[in-house]
Amino acid sequence: MKPHFNQLLEGTDLSFEETKALFNACFQEEVSDTELSAILVALKMKQPTAEELAGLAEVIHTNSPFQFELELPAMDNCGTGGDRSNSFNISTCAAFVLAGAGVTVAKHGNRRISSQTGSADVLEELGVSLDLTKSQMKYMLQENQIAFLFAQHVHPTLKQIAGVRQKLRTPTIFNLVGPLTNPVALHSQLVGVYSNDALPIVAKSLQTLGRKRALVIHGAGGMDEASLQGENNYILLENNELKAGSIHPEEVGLSVYTNQEIEGDDAKRNAEILLSVLNGEPGAYLDTVLFNTAIALFAIGRVDSVKDGMEIARHSVFSGNAKAKLDTLVDYSQEAKQEVV
């Protein structure tokens, strides 16, 4: 560990393999909070590279006791958080719309970061279990096209690092790496990031990690989701090449709304918003979810354009398919809890 740490102190970038060696040592050896803090601060001061981000993500993924593969291609649509927008749970809601459209979604998430309510908070409010076993998660993904993977549950090795991050009280490489650490072997991803500067770093990391196809987006008004407020910048990973682009909601027939119009609140209120969207209640909340779902469908190559994805997203909601995916996950969660009791 020491040679690579010294490289960071000197401002030298680590390779993918060197980063893996450094953090594998952190997870497998007795490392003090002071040593962990020094590593994270050194990376922050130097500014993390795509290789370092991918190396850390790979270590977290392989150290999870919940890692597994599926017969069908799976995706995730988790964002980094950190945009301080206080928006409702857009990607969580979109995940059910994607599942209703036949996409297998291993929805990775955590408790609140930049919003008042994180994906884990709102799903817990709705009755979804946060501590399903690996076999139960796999069953739900195969039978229901969606399962929730609570980050704190599926990455127990990160407990010490979580404590160090709280004490540091400053953004670190871990503010970017979360969406890249899903324990399921993903085929593709839609990743929202909190700044334009993070777009190429995260996109190149996904390329290094071997995603077949992915899209990294930064929303209008500084959101880590696609926003209806204006132009959204993205980088698409396709055929191992990175292509920059942008998209405006009016290009797909949607009205413009400010980000303030999609703000959320506590878990109870956000659960109400999520249900209203899945029940097809018109307005900014629904349109935002449809937009993000359509972009996710484009990200995985299901459609040739985001506009084409809008029709599929609408059908998932108005056919009741999206809501049925949530209902099945809640029912299964309740049955699982009764079995434990």
Domain ranges for the chain: 1-63, 75-331
Is 111 annotated as ligand-binding? yes
Structure tokens at 75: 């995706």
Is 169 annotated as ligand-binding? no
In the CATH scheme, what is the code of domain 1-63? 1.20.970.10
Is 108 annotated as ligand-binding? yes
> The tokens 């909190």 sit on which residue?
194
* C-alpha pair distances (Å), 226 with each of 130, 220, 261: 26, 7, 14
Burial (CB count within 10 angstroms: exposed 0-12, middle 13-18, buried 19+), residue 137: buried
User: Residue 183: what pLDDT?
Assistant: 96
CA 280, chain centre distance (Å): 24
> What is this structure's pTM?
0.95
User: Residue 116: what pLDDT?
Assistant: 67
Same fold, 1-63 and 75-331: no
User: Residue 341: what pLDDT?
Assistant: 46
For domain 75-331, is the CATH number 3.40.1030.10? yes
Is 79 annotated as ligand-binding? yes
Is 135 annotated as ligand-binding? no
Question: Pick from 64, 101, 313: which is nearest to 186 by CA?
Answer: 64
Is 110 annotated as ligand-binding? yes
User: Residue 163: what pLDDT?
Assistant: 86
Is 85 annotated as ligand-binding? no
Is 87 annotated as ligand-binding? yes
**221-268 per-position pLDDT tens digit:** 999 999 999 999 999 999 999 999 999 999 999 999 999 999 999 999
Is 165 annotated as ligand-binding? yes
Regions of the chain short of the pLDDT cut 50: 114, 341
Say if residues 104 and 300 touch (Cβ distance below 8 Å).
no
Is 90 annotated as ligand-binding? yes
Say if residues 264 and 87 touch (Cβ distance below 8 Å).
yes
Is 114 annotated as ligand-binding? yes
Is 280 annotated as ligand-binding? no
Is 219 annotated as ligand-binding? no
Is 82 annotated as ligand-binding? yes
Q: At what angle are helices 284-299 and 306-318 packed, to 10 degrees?
A: 120
Coil/strand/helix, residue 68: strand
